Every structure is written in C-alpha cells, then in structure tokens.
Amino acid sequence: MAAAREEILAALAKRTMAPAEHPGSEGPWQSFRDRVAIFRERLEAAAGECVPVADEGRLAEAVAAIARERSASRVLSLVAAVRSIGAASRDPHDVDGVGLAVLEAQLGVAENGAVWITDGGLAPRSVFSLPEHLVVVLRAGAIVDQMHDAYARLSFSERGFGCFLSGPSKTADIEQSLVIGAHGARTLTVLLLGDA
C-alpha cells in the first residue's frame, strides 16, 4: 500500500509535463434579466415542475395537494412548515415506502434548473433518492445565474453530502427514449416561495 503510494508519486515527480498556471475563476459568465423565468424553463426542460407559492403559510396546503395528486400516503418532511405523515426512523432503508419527501433547497441555478440540497444531518441520505416523489422548497431570491455564482456561495469545509438535483430521475438507455423515474424520484416539484 505505502509502496504503491510512493511509487506513483515518484513516477509523477519524474514526468516532464510543462508547468501551467491555474486560470482563476473570473468570468465573463452568463447572467439573465429574468432568472426566475429561465430557472422555470430549464427545470421544465429537465422534466421537473415549478409551482409558485405566495408565502410560507401556504406551503402545507401546496404539499398536501401534491401528496393527494400523487397518492402519497407517507410524507417525510424536512421543512419546518410542513408536517410529516407516518413516522420514519433513522434507518435509511426505512425511507423505502415514503411516497413524498419534502426538502429545502439552499440555492437554485437558473442556467440548468438545478437546486442545491444538503443532508444537514436531518434525515438519512436515502431521502434524496428513495422516495417516489420529491418536493423541494426554494426561495425565488435564492436563484443564482449560473454554476460559478452557485459555488461562490457554497462551503465544503465540513463532513456532509450535497447534491445539485435537476428534475426527477431519468434514463434514455433504451434506444435513446427518455423515461422518467429510472431509480429515484418519479416526479420533482419545486415550490417557489415569494414568486406568486
């Protein structure tokens, strides 16, 4: 093991590749006049849905409507304003059978319709991929133009998991036909706060 490490590093130290500077992160990077509109458009292109919600008081009602529509009886919510239905333990396997998970996004990215979600230690990580349907709560003001602006706002100094999620799980592995709901969520709805 140690021998492998030393041998690989010695081989790399001997190589003759020309030194090259890191180019830095400064743009010119894309910006949009109407980020919310672009975010919606790109999210829908990724097979996600976007539903405006006027304020936090309306969240529970919006989630209940989606749960009804998707026939989800077990709801696992990580958002304070929305109650879970049917308790889940800390065992990641127990998320199997959850019809709908409600997550909170820190960020949205206009250029690709993705939301940034982290586990935050609140629930097992399987909550991002195992439930049948996902609802993500996002504040319209938290949408940035592109990925450079997104990473400028993220920090990775601690142990944890984070994911850019753009739409529901999908595959095109059979004859390039797009099928939604490969292994993970079959639908993903972003509840956009403060944009109604």
Partner 1 sequence: MTHAENARAFVADDVRAHWHDEALWFVRAKRDAAMRTVPEWEILRTRAAEIKAHALSRLGDYLVEFEANATKLGAVVHWARDADEHNRIVLSLLRERGFRRVVKSKSMLTEECGLNPYLERHGIEVVDTDLGERIVQLRREPPSHIVLPAIHLRKEEIGVLFHAELGTAAGESDPKVLTEAARRGLRGKFLEAEAGITGVNFAIAETGGIVVCTNEGNADLGTSLPRLHVACMGIEKVIPRAADLAVFLRLLARSATGQHLTTYTSHFHGPRPGAELHVVLVDDGRSALAARPAFSPSLSCIRCGACLNTCPVFRRSGGHSYETSVAGPIGSILAPARDPERHRSLPLACSLCGSCTDVCPVRIDLHHQLLSWRGVLARKRLLGDGKRRAMQLAAFVLARPRLYERVARFARSAARALPSGLVGRLGGVSKDRRLPEPPGESFREQLARRRARGRG
Taking CB under 8 A as the binding criterion, the range among 49-57, 69-77, 100-108, 151-159 that sits at the site for partner 1 is 151-159
Three-class SS state of 140:
helix
Considering CB under 8 A, how many residues would be counted as binding partner 1?
78
Q: Are 25 and 164 in contact (CB under 8 A)?
A: no
Give the one residue of 66, 72, 126, 135 binding partner 1; rule: CB under 8 A: 126
Binding mask 66-85 for partner 1 (x = CB under 8 A): --------------------
42 near partner 1, judged by CB under 8 A: yes
3-state secondary structure of 79: coil
**Binding status of residue 12 toward partner 1 by CB under 8 A:** yes
Distance of CA 118 to the CA centre of its chain: 8
Beta carbon of residue 71, minimum distance to partner 1 (angstroms, whole number)? 17
Determine if 148 is a binding residue for partner 1 (CB under 8 A): yes
* Residue 108 binds partner 1 (CB under 8 A): no
Site for partner 1 (CB under 8 A): which residue of 44, 54, 161, 196?
A: 161
The answer to whether 106 and 79 are in contact (CB under 8 A) is no
Q: Are 17 and 157 in contact (CB under 8 A)?
A: no
State the number of CA atoms in the 13 A half-sphere of 19 facing the CB: 2
